[in-house]
């Protein structure tokens, strides 16, 4: 299965935005044990690229590892060399999309308005990250898809156990989930059992 097919099947992308990635092994194992199959490490941490390479060596073909917070073509090339299987950005920038196409990496750029979303799609987005989704009603996804049904939309920002089903019911292709899944205090406490159990709660909601 391709990275995009795995994301389409499981619907959840776990966003790892941490200051300390020295615990990436344990964190990854807990997420995978909880049923998560797509994990994004954001480049807001300078160790993210090397972490992506290390995590790729730990997982099988049914787990996909991507890069997030990508903001230029040089970063796309760097994460491609590290083995990233998809690229997520908070913005829509032509050079990022062009480089993702050149590297045969699914691009998931951030956009907010219907015009921005459609522009990202026309420039080669595999999925458009609707961001920040916490400023929108879940129905926004359905409203955008009504005249633009060809789009694949991934709401990100504020997605939680309380609203994920509604996002999916409104037609979301996938969901980007960050702090509500990977709680900073849980990570600080190294409570990997709690992280695994929280991941399971998210995965169970997808059924």
Rounded Cα–Cα distance for residues 119 and 114 (Å): 8
Catalytic residue among 11, 40, 93, 99: 40
Q: State the Cα angle at 188 between 187 and 192, rounded to 5°.
A: 35
Active site residue 5: no
Active site residue 93: no
Catalytic residue among 11, 93, 99, 129: 129
**Could you tell me if 196 and 183 are in contact, meaning their C-beta atoms sit under 8 angstroms apart?**
no
Active site residues: 40, 129
């Amino acid at each position: 299965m391709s990275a995009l097919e795995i994301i389409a099947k499981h619907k959840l992308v776990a966003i790892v935005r941490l200051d300390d990635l020295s615990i990436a092994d344990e964190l990854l194992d807990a997420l995978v044990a909880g049923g998560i199959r797509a994990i994004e490490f954001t480049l807001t941490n300078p160790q993210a690229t090397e972490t992506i390479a290390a995590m790729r060596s730990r997982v099988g073909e049914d787990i996909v590892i991507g890069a997030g917070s990508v903001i230029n073509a040089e970063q796309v090339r760097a994460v491609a060399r590290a083995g990233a299987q998809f690229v997520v950005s908070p913005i829509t920038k032509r050079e990022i999309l062009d480089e993702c196409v050149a590297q045969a990496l699914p691009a998931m750029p951030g956009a907010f308005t219907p015009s921005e979303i459609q522009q990202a799609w026309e420039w080669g987005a595999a999925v458009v990250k609707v961001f920040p989704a916490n400023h929108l009603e879940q129905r926004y996804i359905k409203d955008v898809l009504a005249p633009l049904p060809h789009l694949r939309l991934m709401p990100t920002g504020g997605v939680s156990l309380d609203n994920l089903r509604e996002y999916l019911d409104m037609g979301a292709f996938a969901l980007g989930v960050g702090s509500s899944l990977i709680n900073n205090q849980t990570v600080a406490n190294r409570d990997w059992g709690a992280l695994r159990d929280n991941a399971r709660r998210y995965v169970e909601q997808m059924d």
